[in-house]
Amino acid sequence: MYIVIMSRVAVVKYFGDFLGEKFSVSVYENMIKAGIGFVAGNLSLNEYFKQLFPGGAVGIKTNCLTPFNATPLNLTEAFVNILRENAGYDENDLIIWERTNHELKKAGYTLNAASTGVRCLGTDVATIGYDRTFLNSGKVNSMVSKILTRMIEHNVNIPILKDHSIAGMSAGLKNMYGAIHNPNKYHDNNCSPYAANINNLTPIRDKHRLTIIDAVKVQYDNGPGYAPHSIDSYNSLIISEDPVAADCVALEILNRIRARNGKKSLKELGREVKYLDEAEKLGLGQANIAKIEIGVLAIAEDGSISEGKLF
């Protein structure tokens, strides 16, 4: 199924003039296209998207737990635009989704549970809910959102990178807690192996296509709730087909941002991220950073791309 080397991760850093709090839609579009260009290897953007999304509805899973530190609307919009323009997707086949309508709304998203247009909705919409079949993976037994099991064929995970008081880090794998009905049951032992098990639930694993982690403003401490005094700019997106490799690179970045802000490492604090190794054992991806091909791309305001450095 996978058409490129799985463990290839693009880190796309924006170096243009940046005065505001948010990146514009067009900046995000340029960043996504640059990152996909690396991940896609020899394929053109259009060819790549057509192979990755050969038809059927695409879900876009955000992270809107905290309204002030949620997946930016502009990032989601940029990805929707690219899917429509480069993969020829019809707006009716795109669904931005979350656990609840309330979370999406508070993060600034306009809900649309109608039958036309890009849909934007939570699993808690009365007619949706969770599939009443318990799915099992390792220590996890959960019902999964019908948005994932019944409404979409492909899922793109668009979380934000942040510190997490229990899991250590919240990025791609942790964001899929929002797809199950009982996430509160799976926080023991720094969410390990639970975060891995959740991502190994059949519909989550089989429908995963791409991870795009927003690491523009990284909350490096006191997460997952919003803590404005613990935010540092990194101005990047992390993009990969491999959900474990994407998180592995995100963890490296988070640890280094913590260090430059004088914070102890997650390991020293007893919040080491252990679920990545568990995910690798389940065959979900690559957790060894030495084995991941990382492409750091510096992107300028005019969209020109040059080689960059992680730090």
Partner 1 sequence: MDRRKFMKFIGCGACAAMSSHSGLLPEFLGGVQNACAFDYTRELSSVEARYYKKLPEGGIECEICPRRCRITDLERGYCGSRENRGDTYYTLVYGLPCAVNIDPIEKKPFHHFYPGTSAFSLATAGCNVNCKCCQNWDISQSRPEQTENFSLPPKDIIDLCQQRKVPTIAYTYSEPVIFYEYMYDTAELGHKHGIKSVMISGGYINPEPLGELLKHLNAVKIDLKAIRETYYKDYVDGELKPVLDGLIQIKKSDVWLEIVYLVIPTLNDSDDEFTELARWIKNYLGVDVPIHLSRFYPQYLLKNLPPTPQTTLDRALSICRAEGLEYVYLGNIPSHKAESTYCPKCGEMLIERRGYRTSVSGMSKNKCKSCGKIIPGRFF
Q: Is 101 in the site for partner 1 (CB under 8 A)?
A: no
Count CA atoms within 13 Å of residue 105 on its CB side.
10
Please report the DSSP string for 70-113 in residue order.
S--HHHHHHHHHHHHHHS---GGGEEEEES-HHHHHHTTPPPB-
From CA 177, how far away is CA 148, in angstroms rounded? 13
Q: Is 275 in the site for partner 1 (CB under 8 A)?
A: no
Closest distance to partner 1 from the beta carbon of 60 (Å)? 22
Closest distance to partner 1 from the beta carbon of 141 (Å)? 6
Q: Which is nearer to partner 1, 7 or 62 (CB)?
A: 62
Which one among 134, 150, 281, 310 touches partner 1, defined by CB under 8 A? 134
From CA 28, how far away is CA 295, in angstroms rounded? 17
- By the 8 A CB rule, do 60 and 94 touch? yes
Type of residue numbered 298: A
Q: Is 165 in the site for partner 1 (CB under 8 A)?
A: yes
Coil, strand, or helix at residue 144? strand
Which one among 5, 106, 226, 282 touches partner 1, defined by CB under 8 A? 226
Closest distance to partner 1 from the beta carbon of 134 (Å)? 6
Q: Which is nearer to partner 1, 62 or 240 (CB)?
A: 62
Per DSSP, helices labelled H in 158-273 are: 172-175, 188-191, 194-199, 202-207, 243-260
Q: Which is nearer to partner 1, 103 or 278 (CB)?
A: 103
Closest distance to partner 1 from the beta carbon of 81 (Å)? 30
Q: Is 178 in the site for partner 1 (CB under 8 A)?
A: no
* Stretch of residues binding partner 1 (CB under 8 A), selected from 110-118, 123-131, 258-266, 298-306: 123-131
Task: Give φ, ψ of 265 to 5 degrees.
Answer: -70, 160
- Residues in the interface with partner 1 (CB under 8 A) total 22
Closest distance to partner 1 from the beta carbon of 83 (Å)? 30
From CA 219, how far away is CA 226, in angstroms rounded? 8
From CA 5, how far away is CA 280, in angstroms rounded? 15
Q: Is 100 in the site for partner 1 (CB under 8 A)?
A: yes
Q: Is 22 in the site for partner 1 (CB under 8 A)?
A: no
From CA 6, how far away is CA 243, in angstroms rounded? 9
Q: Which is nearer to partner 1, 136 or 304 (CB)?
A: 136
Instruction: Indicate the length of the chain as a whole number.
Output: 311
From CA 108, how far away is CA 169, in angstroms rounded? 24
List the interface residues with partner 1, window 46-65 (CB under 8 A).
65
Q: Is 124 in the site for partner 1 (CB under 8 A)?
A: yes
Q: Which is nearer to partner 1, 165 or 265 (CB)?
A: 165
Site for partner 1, rule CB under 8 A: 65-66, 100, 124, 129-130, 134, 136, 141, 165-166, 181-182, 184-185, 187-188, 222-226
